Amino acid sequence: MMNTQEKLKNAQNLVYFKITYLPETHQIESEWMGFINDVESSKQAYFLMSEFLSQYRCEAILNSNKKQVGPWPKIDEWLADTWLPHMQMTGLKYFAHLHSRNLFTQVSAERAFANIPKGIFLEHFYEEEQARQWLLRQSTRGLRR
């Protein structure tokens, strides 16, 4: 089976979000790019992440902000109250968050993911390989249960 990928573009026709299903690891990888200050564009990307999780019945996501700059739009409450509980019901268990080196993006991510529902395990990383290894260990642990 091949990787499945979708991209979202902003009003300037620039890709700001890319999501990929990786069948070999049965995981989803999402990548945010550039300066994103539009709430609706952000929600569109999070909805797409939810669709991928549901369609491929995954429980692990590697969410990368490495190419994102600046603060996130004000969607913290929506993430905590709506999106994360929905993702949990859809099957999300492991969420590896790969930080940007941009301080504003880091602070936004930490604030947005401060209230994770029980049953979702979230770890923050700066190195992609560490994030991948953590997800792999979680998946392997899940197979042994």
HEC readout, 73-125: CCCHHHHHHHHHHHHHHHCCCEEEEECCCCHHHHHHHHHHCCCCCCCCEEEEE
* Burial category of 143 from C-beta neighbours within 10 Å (exposed 0-12, middle 13-18, buried 19 and up): exposed
For 20-37, the pLDDT digits (tens) are: 999 999 999 999 999 888
Q: Which pLDDT value is given to residue 99?
A: 84
The rounded distance, in Å, linking the Cα atoms of 71 and 111 is: 11
Q: What share of the chain is helix, strand, coil (3-state, %, to 5)?
A: 40, 30, 30
Q: Which class would CATH give 4-144?
A: alpha beta
| Exposed e or buried b per residue across 67-96, where buried means at least 16 C-beta atoms within 10 angstroms of its C-beta | bbeebbbebeebbbeebbeebeebebbbbb
Question: What is the three-class DSSP state of 33?
Answer: strand
Q: Tell me the per-residue pLDDT of 30-58, one tens digit each, with 9 for 90 and over.
A: 999 998 888 899 999 999 999 999 999 99
pLDDT class of 141 with cuts at 50, 70, 90: low
Q: Are strands 60-69 and 27-35 parallel, antiparallel or unpaired?
A: parallel
Locate the domains of the chain by residue range. Answer: 4-144
Please measure the distance between the N-terminal and C-terminal CA atoms of the chain and give it in whole angstroms.
26
